[in-house]
Amino acid sequence: MKRFLIVTLISLFLIGFSITSAQRPYIAMISKGFQHQFWQAVKMGAEKAAKDLNVTITFEGPESEAMVDKQIEMLQAALAKKPAALCIAALDSKAVIPYLEKAHSMGIPVIGFDSGVDSDIPVTTVATDNIKAAGYAADMMAKFINRVGEVALVVHDQTSRTGIDRRDGFVNRIKQKYPLIKIVAIQYGGGDHLKSTDLAKAIIQAHPRLKGIFGANEGSAIGVINAVREMNKVGKIVVIGYDSGKQQIDAIKSGLMAGAITQNPVGMGYMAVEAAVKAIKGEKLPKFIDSGFYWYDKTNIDDPKIKQCLYE
């Protein structure tokens, strides 16, 4: 009788657990990769949201951000599990579209995060507002050079959405708010720090009265740092960067770089899961959700809120 009672209790527990698990929506998340600390931070935020909102998630991505085919395979495998929602940071904004169309036909809401796709299928995309963030970088540049003088930009490219938005966000803010600041050069280094170094050195040589340079991504910013050091302009030219990385962090701590913009990967992961839950419930979402950004410099670089957004 005692054994029968124990077996019955265990069975009831398992049945209860099964019901609870079955009632918890499953959300598949596929990132661009795992080689950057950035994605680990996104995963951390997603897992916190899953716990807070009582959903089950899987978070996976290819080993490198060049592995488009691997990401497509992961996307196919995720759809085979029939998730309640799918979150995707697409490596190729076009290649994923057939699979997003399949998700749509299966009634699975799609959430974009970090990067958009060339399709209206995602019910929303959670990402950094690069125009706003670059505008803030322009405000900080103006502050450091007392709102007057010549400045320049080294941007990663003029074809990607991030390159265009960071360039335009910075340039337009300067033109709108700071009439005594003149943008004397905009160069594109492909995100390569060596090429960006050469470009920044050429800018400095051509404009001896230059007061500041904005490097629009990690590689661009490192190139500018190198150029300022090699041209003996430390303390004479204000350097402002974007993103993170060991060399930028070291440059900020040493005073070589005034500060930089970092994205909010933890918040991005949290908001993506939050949006997926709302989509599952049929709630209406905006087409774009700004995951925010932070300005960091030597005064706040060790703040836990900032540190979790930085990566080396």
Q: Is the model's pLDDT at 290 over the cut of 90?
A: yes
User: Quick one: what percent of the chain has pLDDT higher than 70?
Assistant: 91
- Confirm whether 117 is domain-assigned: yes
Whether 35 shows a pLDDT value over 80: the answer reads no
167 with 119, same domain?
A: no
Q: Is 153 inside a domain boundary?
A: yes
Residues 220 and 178 in one domain: yes
Are 146 and 256 in the same domain? yes
Residue 213 lies in a domain: yes
**What confidence tens digit (pLDDT) does each residue in 42-69 have?**
999 999 999 999 999 999 999 877 788 9
Residue 4 lies in a domain: no
Q: Is 86 part of a structural domain of the chain? A: yes
Tokens of 107: 């009634």
Average of pLDDT values for 132-159? 95
Task: Enumerate the β-bridge partners of residue 111.
Answer: 87, 124
Segment (H or E) for 183? strand 181-188
Tell whether 105 and 173 lie within a shared domain.
no
- Judged against a pLDDT cut of 70, whether residue 20 lies above it is answered with no
Structural domain contains residue 189: yes
Looking at the structure, do residues 181 and 139 belong to the same domain, yes or no? yes
- Do both 122 and 139 map to the same domain? no
Assign 161 a pLDDT band (cuts: 50, 70, 90). confident
Q: Provide the number of structural domains found in the chain.
A: 2
pLDDT given at position 68: 87
Window from 34-48, 65-79, 111-125 with minimum mean pLDDT:
34-48
Same domain, 134 and 252: yes
Considering the domain architecture, whether residues 32 and 114 belong to the same structural domain is answered as yes
> Is position 18 within any domain?
no
Task: Write the CATH number for 148.
Answer: 3.40.50.2300
Do 109 and 178 share a domain, yes or no?
A: no
Output the pTM of the full model.
0.75
Q: Is the pLDDT of residue 19 over 60?
A: no
Domain end (from 224, 240, 262):
262
Flag whether pLDDT at 7 surpasses 50.
no
Nearest 5°: phi and psi at 192? -85, 125
- On whether both 113 and 160 belong to a single domain, the answer is no
Percent of the chain with pLDDT over 90: 73
Tokens of 293: 């950004």
Question: Which residue from 304, 155, 161 is spatially nearest to 223, judged by alpha carbons?
Answer: 155
Contact call for residues 266 and 292 (beta carbons, < 8 A): no
CA proximity to 141, closest of 165, 186, 173, 113: 173
**Domain range for 271:** 26-128+264-292
Residues 147 and 215 in one domain: yes
Predicted confidence (pLDDT) per residue in 176-232, tens digit: 999 999 999 999 998 889 999 999 999 999 999 999 999 998 889 999 999 999 999
Q: What's 116's DSSP letter?
A: -
- Residue 19 belongs to a domain: no
Q: Are residues 37 and 100 in the same domain?
A: yes
